[in-house]
Chains A and B, each alone.
Chain A
């Protein structure tokens, strides 16, 4: 269709929000336009020949567009762009900065499962999975994407209020020689050295060691 006159203010703050490589384009509505603004989106693989329109994000009124599928190859880098329309007017195309899924994604904390015996707790950590197209799709752990992935584990003794830190490369940790009948709270964080990335700490998972049967 022929281009309309582009005197509409531009969409603002066009950027990717990425968590575990689920890459969603976000933007803010143009200033002073109120309701009724529609948008269309295009994206480009950096260095590849052309911009590609995203049909599912054509004439949309929301201010986000999921481009995870189009940007799933994390060996590539990408740009995306948004244009606004209202009452026969339109804005300029507004672009993101260059998006590198490998370094620009945020990492969720690992999931933590804890079990206990009388004098020990066992911790199993699971790194989050990379975004996938469908639940049936092949699961790829972020461990495969970032081979140098490690875990920082915090163990809090609820009685003494003392907190210990462990740094482990594999995903299991057994803390022996604990006090029976005592509550311990565990949280964990993912730490990647190349590129330098880390998740926040997970919420705390608390468990009590069993009571001492001989006592």
Chain B
């Protein structure tokens, strides 16, 4: 039996603290190729004889992507590797070039909807999971120097920011903050609204 080629082009796609390992398929005519993935954290390298830990959800899978989010759960450097299997035949391990540290995940600005409900300024934020908090900035249009900030730790539909005076526009923008990696996303688009008696008014 010819040696099974190791998977190639092994890369990580990591956005908003969701991490996926992907690789190119190994093509063997007439055969179903399956793959197994293992990871190794800094702890394993320095304290546990460089041991590797299998990810059972990605053991003998046919897909060429594996969700490794659950296992990349510390802000340290991880090694990752993939092997191909056809029946009892196994390839060499194909390894990710270099380490992966979740601190490099790309953070996107949050989806946000600003609402004026009577004289009350409210914001609706997208639930991005327990790792995320939101820093919401709001100000009276033209008074950018007197910006106010609210940290929203738990997203529960409509969050009250403040009360508004009748007349001026109020503008809002938000960014995510991930404490585990101590990083923030860029800010969302600014949205402005204006208080109007008892009805909601949108001004973008």
Listed in ascending order, the chain A residues whose CB lies under 8 Å from chain B are 152, 154-155, 157, 160, 162-167, 175-179, 191, 193
**A150 to chain B: closest residue by CB:** B153
* In the A-B complex, the 7 residue pairs with the closest CB atoms: A177-B119, A164-B160, A177-B163, A165-B156, A166-B160, A165-B159, A164-B158
Contact status B118-A191, CB under 8 Å: no
Give complex CA distance A53, B173 in Å.
61
A191 and B154 contact, Cβ closer than 8 Å, known pairs A165-B159, A166-B160 = yes
- A191 CB to closest chain B CB (Å) equals 7
A163 and B117 contact, Cβ closer than 8 Å, known pairs A176-B163, A177-B163, A179-B198 = no
Give complex CA distance A167, B125 in Å.
14
Most B C-beta atoms less than 10 A away, residue of A165, A176, A193: A165
**Inter-chain contacts of B158 with A (CB < 8 A):** 162-165
- B62 CB to closest chain A CB (Å) equals 37
Contact status B198-A164, CB under 8 Å: no
Listed in ascending order, the chain B residues whose CB lies under 8 Å from chain A are 117-120, 122, 152-154, 156-160, 163-164, 198
**Inter-chain contacts of A152 with B (CB < 8 A):** 154, 156
Contact status A179-B118, CB under 8 Å: yes
- B63 CB to closest chain A CB (Å) equals 33
Give complex CA distance A137, B173 in Å.
50
**A182 to chain B: closest residue by CB:** B198
**Inter-chain contacts of A164 with B (CB < 8 A):** 117, 120, 122, 158-160
Give complex CA distance A191, B154 in Å.
10
Give complex CA distance A177, B118 in Å.
8
Contact status B117-A167, CB under 8 Å: no
- B164 CB to closest chain A CB (Å) equals 8
Residue in contact with B117 in the complex, picked from A160, A176, A191, A193, CB distance below 8 Å: A160
Contact status B157-A165, CB under 8 Å: yes
Give complex CA distance A178, B160 in Å.
13
**Inter-chain contacts of A157 with B (CB < 8 A):** 117
Contact status B118-A163, CB under 8 Å: no
**Inter-chain contacts of A162 with B (CB < 8 A):** 117, 158
- B125 CB to closest chain A CB (Å) equals 11
Can you identify 11 A-B contacts, CB atoms within 8 angstroms?
A: A152-B154, A154-B156, A160-B117, A164-B117, A164-B120, A164-B158, A165-B157, A165-B158, A165-B160, A177-B119, A193-B153
- A159 CB to closest chain B CB (Å) equals 9
**Inter-chain contacts of A177 with B (CB < 8 A):** 118-120, 163-164
Given contacts A166-B159, A175-B160, 11 further A-B contacts (CB under 8 A): A160-B117, A164-B122, A164-B160, A165-B157, A165-B158, A167-B153, A167-B154, A167-B159, A176-B119, A178-B118, A179-B118
Most B C-beta atoms less than 10 A away, residue of A163, A164, A178, A191: A164
**Inter-chain contacts of B152 with A (CB < 8 A):** 167
- A193 CB to closest chain B CB (Å) equals 8
**Inter-chain contacts of B154 with A (CB < 8 A):** 152, 167, 191
**Inter-chain contacts of B117 with A (CB < 8 A):** 157, 160, 162, 164
- B1 CB to closest chain A CB (Å) equals 50
Give complex CA distance A160, B156 in Å.
19
- A208 CB to closest chain B CB (Å) equals 15
Give complex CA distance A158, B154 in Å.
24
Give complex CA distance A166, B120 in Å.
12
**Inter-chain contacts of B160 with A (CB < 8 A):** 155, 164-166, 175
**Inter-chain contacts of A176 with B (CB < 8 A):** 119, 163
